[in-house]
Amino acid sequence: MTKLSVNINKIATLRNARGGNVPNLLKVASDIEDFGAHGITVHPRPDERHIRYADVYALKKIIRTEFNIEGNPNDAFTAMVLEVQPTQVTLVPDAVDAITSSAGWDTIAHKDLLKDMIGTFKAKGIRTSIFVDPDPKMIEGAAETGADRIELYTEQYAEMYTKAPEKAIEPYKNAAILAHTLGLGINAGHDLSLENIAYFKQGIEHLEEVSIGHALICEAIYLGLENVVNMYIHRLRA
């Protein structure tokens, strides 16, 4: 089945809003694993406004499933990933002041950088993924960097889903077919939710993993965290 990796950035945001350690980030991560999730995702940013670099080191000690670290490969991020050695690193082209991810990599313009970073991470046995739009040229470029996987940036799908689901998913179907043909594994993330995840899963062949944070935590406010994790897992088995 497609694996669910839960992004816990929003848990860290809530903790940081009051200082202290409530909610306890490490306990939430451990509980999410107990609830059935297949992995934990974090996306530390330079200002540490949610996940702190210290959190990443602490999480590495307690995570029993897969650990996915997302981010722009600046020097500090790269050094941390090489030291922590997570299951997977997902390279995201965020600006320093980005509120959230808003675009995939231009894998042609940044080919040399990506190739160098991916070689560095893979030499340490870390699975590599590149955040990309469902653009054939960008996927072909990703394959040329030596990446193990791509993560399809799904905001466009989520925005269009309620109006025209078939039209919304079409470029992602084509992107997944191309990626698989080129030997790339397929992940996806950004604005996927309980409302739209099942249709996405059913339409995308060879979907290995989804990373979901904001929507899942928001849904958990009403439905409960354990319940929501299991609702996603159920939809991903369909």
Residue matched to tokens 């030596």: 146
Q: Are 111 and 131 in contact (CB under 8 A)?
A: no
Could you tell me which CATH class the domain 3-237 is placed in? alpha beta
Mean pLDDT lowest among 22-26, 94-98, 226-230: 94-98
Q: Are 217 and 11 in contact (CB under 8 A)?
A: yes
Note the pLDDT of residue 238: 73
At position 50, the amino acid (one-letter code) is H
pLDDT tens readout for residues 120-139: 999 999 999 999 999 999 99
Burial (CB < 10 A; 0-12, 13-18, 19+), residue 96, is exposed
Q: Is the pLDDT of residue 96 over 80?
A: no
Residue 227 has a CB neighbour count (10 Å cut-off) of 12
Q: Is the pLDDT of residue 181 over 60?
A: yes
Catalytic residue set: 43, 70, 190
Residue of 99, 103, 122 whose CA lies nearest to 45 = 99
Domain boundaries, the chain: 3-237
pLDDT band at 94 (very low <50, low <70, confident <90, very high): confident
Mean per-residue pLDDT of the chain? 95
Interval 33-45 mean pLDDT: 97
